[in-house]
Amino acid sequence: MARTDDALHHLVRLPLAATAPAPSGIEFLSDRPLHTLPVPENLLTADASDGAHPSGQATDEPLTFHTTRRTYRARPLYRRSLHLPAEQYAGLGTKQLDALNTYLSRHLPETMEGNRP
């Protein structure tokens, strides 16, 4: 596993497991605000939310695991859509895995002990 101090930087640059850009872009979901996502200027769109405020909630955080009385807590859900460059769409299957491996080798050469040769 590679180490990085800027995971969000790589999040918007990793090769995607998709064959073509989606008309609506790629949607990022988080339980934390996404306005700090380091988005290159050329990917910003005037009509898209910056993800600074919750757009809804997900009721999926377990409070109890009782088999007949399982309960969940609601958590905020932040959304941000980006139109990523076409060259970032790496395809599916081994094409995407190869592109991901190339990206990681190029941009995250430092690895944790024992995980990569």
Q: What average pLDDT does range 7-36 have in this prediction?
A: 86
**pLDDT-derived band of residue 100, with 50, 70 and 90 as boundaries?**
very high
Same domain, 45 and 78: yes
Same domain, 39 and 57: yes
Same domain, 71 and 35: yes
Give DSSP secondary structure letters for the chain.
-B--S-HHHHHTTSPBS-SS--TT-EEEEESS--TTS---GGG--TTS--S-S--EEEEEEEEE--SSS-EEEEEEEEEEEE---GGGB--STHHHHHHHHHHHHHH---B-TTT--
Q: What is the pLDDT of residue 46?
A: 65
Domain annotation covers residue 115: no
Q: State pLDDT tens for residues 82-94.
A: 888 888 999 999 9
- Give the residue numbers spanning the domain of 30: 22-83
Average pLDDT value for the chain: 83
Same domain, 27 and 79: yes
Q: State pLDDT tens for residues 22-39.
A: 887 888 888 889 888 888
Same domain, 30 and 72: yes
CA distances, 80 to each of 12, 37, 93, 102, 117 (Å): 11, 9, 26, 27, 36
Domain annotation covers residue 100: yes
Q: What is the pLDDT of residue 114?
A: 46
Q: State pLDDT tens for residues 57-75.
A: 999 989 999 989 999 999 9
**pLDDT-derived band of residue 112, with 50, 70 and 90 as boundaries?**
very low
Domain annotation covers residue 62: yes
